[in-house]
Chains A and B, each alone.
Chain A
Amino acid sequence: DVVMTQSPLSLPVTLGQSASISCRSTQSLVDTAGNTKLHWFQQRPGQSPRRLIYKVSNRDSGVPDRFSGSGSGTDFTLKISRVEAEDVGDYYCMQDRYWPHTFGRGTKLEIK
């Protein structure tokens, strides 16, 4: 199975500061059509997961532009600039290039 390694697992951030989450996969996530099948999800406390970013860097409708995704191959990053209180929660990267589709362990973002 493709293992998705996220770091850090805990991320205390001061309001207004930036935060960055790394995600590394054990295999390249580029498919035969050239799509990189790496996505990011946010799960606020007590809520269902919500997709933030698809295919590395495409932000979903309604997601603030403070969220951005980057990376290629096996190495990816989610960046949150100007962290707000509503950003508290767990963040997961996920690959659906291979079955089983696998998620990272999650990064818990909290406000310092």
Chain B
Amino acid sequence: EVQVVESGGGLVQPGGSLRLSCAASGFTFSTAWMRWVRQAPGKGLECVANINQDGSEEWYLDSVKGRFTISRDNAKNSLFLQMNSLRAEDTAVYYCVGGGWFAYWGQGALVTVSS
């Protein structure tokens, strides 16, 4: 059974930092592209960051470039998102997504940026 579980969400002040983690199992993590997709309250879906199988390629949405860093640990089947200089507009549920063509989604981690 595939499981994708995010952790690390919470309330942070503008300008602060947060690190999201994702633990995956039930599929071959080391051969899968992994992504973070976010959904602001009441809004649609937005793909924030992508990382290839061995971590040598990273792709970022322009609005988070220079502030967010995606990384992975294939030995631990884990994905991460380091978020710095957070803004109110980064408030969203962040989903860890893996597998070919966005096959597997986690339950999401809520990040709230507010003073």
With A37-B101, A99-B59, A101-B50 as contacts: A92 and B45 at CB distance below 8 Å: yes
| Cα A103 to Cα B46 with chains together (Å) | 7
The listed residue (B44, B62, B102, B107) touching A96 by CB distance below 8 A is B102
Residues of A43-82 contacting chain B, CB below 8 A? 48-51, 54-55, 60
Residues of B within 8 A of A50 (CB): 105
- Tell me if A39 counts as interface (CB < 8 A to partner B): yes
Tally of A-B Cβ pairs under 8 angstroms:
50
How many interface residues does B have (CB within 8 Å)? 19
> A71 CB to closest chain B CB, in angstroms?
16
Q: Which residue of B lies closest to A37 (CB)?
A: B101
| Cα A10 to Cα B105 with chains together (Å) | 24
Residues of B within 8 A of A60 (CB): 103
Residues of A81-112 contacting chain B, CB below 8 A? 92, 94, 96, 99-106
How many interface residues does A have (CB within 8 Å)? 21
Residues of A within 8 A of B62 (CB): 100
Residues of B within 8 A of A102 (CB): 47
Residues of B within 8 A of A105 (CB): 44
A51 touches B44 (CB 8 A): no
Residues of A within 8 A of B50 (CB): 99, 101
Q: B-side interface residues toward A, CB under 8 Å?
A: 35, 37, 44-47, 50, 59, 61-62, 95, 100-103, 105-108
